[in-house]
Chain A
Amino acid sequence: MLDVTDLNIEFHDHLTPETVVNDFDLHMDYGEIVGLVGESGSGKTMSALAIAGLLSRKNMKKRGRIEFEGTDILNCPRNELRSLQGKDISMVFQEPMNSLDPLKKIGYQVEESLKIHTDMSAKNRKRLALRALSEVELPDPKGIYELYPHELSGGMRQRVMIAAAIISKPKLLICDEPTTALDVTIQAQILELLKKINKRYNTAILFISHDLSLVRKLCKRVLVMYRGNVVESGEAEQVFSHPEAEYTRLLIAAIPKFEKLRKD
């Protein structure tokens, strides 16, 4: 479904060009959950934005190929890209506080991709929106439909974002650190929710995180990135139990452990 080959991204907004992603390769099948881990600035978000077709076409140079169901995302015309975005590819961002328009009701924002991509009647749109809101396990979808973002908590907003992302049943859902801004119990709930969505709609999920334990819980396959390079990739269990790259080992060692804390 998704094939990324030799993706290179260079920034050209400074005097010297800066490579942020180097020879990135990724293949994803329908219904697969792939984790992308790495520290801040390792290029994971950049790769994801490129896959979503969100990278600005100015100030940066991109080489390689991103093919989504036969469409070349890097080079296809804007309107073709737009017809994919929101319909077949959706994304959930890290910061649920900023990712909803503060002046639009929740219902409006959940329905928006339907409004753009289909000519469904308002009534049908509302029906689907309410269903999406209840699918992300928000209590009282009807009430929430009429609320504004500032009236919801962070966890609820992230659920709303997920509802908006899945309403048109995308084939690929990109989650860019969707749980980083949330507390631990909510994190676990969101993970469960993503798993459920993956099972029910066979939605492929590209899960980006720096939290290895989350990735381990959710993903079958993982890619480890460091300074724009993929240093290791493979089955999640394999990577975590027998890391090959030095960096992966360091990353795993950096997970705080109870025993270690006690010793210190």
Chain B
Amino acid sequence: MKRKRLLNHKLIAGAVITAFVVLVSAAGFFYTPYDPNMMDAASKFAGISLKHPLGCDNFGRDILSRIISGSGTTLVIAFCTVLIGSVGGMLAGAVTGYFGGAADEIIMRFNDAVLAFPSILLALVFISVIGSGKYKVILALGIVFIPSFARLVRAEFIKCRSMDYVSSAKLMGASDLRIMFVHILPNTMKVMLSSVAIGFNNAVLAEAGMSFLGIGVVPPDSSLGRMLSEAQAFIFVKPSYAIFSGAMIVLMILGFSMLSEGLEAL
């Protein structure tokens, strides 16, 4: 039997960019050319050189090292956010989509309420209540991400619920939990995959945005958003600082969104 073509250009390009970004930031946990927080007054605003490939910032910190470790922070935050969002959304979507009825109404109305606020605003509210910092950003963004996943999973569950293979599993005496998680959930994975990729995209943006506004990651942790906001003050003195950290964000977003579109086209 002829198989459908498995790869497309977007998928390949997205996978390559994402792999590059992930590898670079993963390597950053073990090795950066300099300590990203090491200040060196002598090399303040140093230009591009062999010693500092991307130059140095206002405290004389090596920009390349900071970008590498900052991407790591950003990616970890994005990963945890998407994890919380997708697992939470999966549970909520599975319960509401499968059982329907009162549980569906209650959870989905709550869902609608969360969706009604712009997600950044909602995350802002969370942060102002629980305080800022890496883990709190993860928690806030994760909760904000739940509703969109929940909707998606719910729609898929409703679609699959009436399929004959679900009835036949029911007829084999399978319990509700077994049908939900052994039979239906794997069938929602195709849709989940592409939205997980786009979720990464949104999480990177949201984290960068929050850190830029100064309510995300707190110093001395570096993150791409924080670097961008630091660079803002020196944009005319040292434009490469803003350009390189901005470029890294663009690269991440580009990779994840192409990956998502590629997965969708599968």
- Chain B residues, Cβ within 8 Å of A84: 173
Interface residues on B, range: 10 to 19
A58 touches which of B101, B170, B183 (Cβ 8 Å): B101
Contact in complex: A112, B172 (CB < 8 Å)? yes
Residues 142-184 of A at the B interface (beta carbon under 8 Å): 150-151, 161, 164
A161 touches which of B168, B169, B178 (Cβ 8 Å): B168
Contact in complex: A54, B187 (CB < 8 Å)? no
Contact in complex: A103, B186 (CB < 8 Å)? yes
A211, B172: Cα distance in complex, Å:
27
Residues 135-163 of B at the A interface (beta carbon under 8 Å): 163
B171 on interface, CB distance cutoff 8 Å: yes
Contact in complex: A82, B175 (CB < 8 Å)? yes
A86 touches which of B164, B172, B186 (Cβ 8 Å): B172
Interface residues on A, range: 20 to 34
B29 on interface, CB distance cutoff 8 Å: no
B174 on interface, CB distance cutoff 8 Å: yes
Q: Pick the most buried of A84, A93, A94, A101: most chain B CB atoms within 10 A of its CB.
A: A101
A85 touches which of B1, B171, B189 (Cβ 8 Å): B171
Distance (Å) between the CB of B30 and the closest chain A CB?
37
Q: Pick the most buried of B1, B163, B171: most chain A CB atoms within 10 A of its CB.
A: B171
Q: Pick the most buried of B164, B167, B178: most chain A CB atoms within 10 A of its CB.
A: B164
B20 on interface, CB distance cutoff 8 Å: no
Q: Pick the most buried of B1, B173, B187: most chain A CB atoms within 10 A of its CB.
A: B173
- Chain B residues, Cβ within 8 Å of A91: 167-168, 171
A255, B189: Cα distance in complex, Å:
46
A223 on interface, CB distance cutoff 8 Å: no
B→A interface (CB under 8 Å):
1, 101, 163-165, 167-175, 178, 183, 186-187, 189
Q: What are 8 A-B residue pairs whose CB atoms fall within 8 Å in the complex? A: A54-B170, A83-B173, A86-B172, A91-B167, A98-B163, A102-B165, A112-B174, A151-B1
A→B interface (CB under 8 Å):
52, 54, 58, 82-87, 89-91, 93-95, 98-104, 112-113, 116-117, 150-151, 161, 164
Instruction: Give the top 4 A-B pairs by smallest Cβ distance, nearest first.
Output: A86-B172, A99-B164, A86-B173, A85-B173
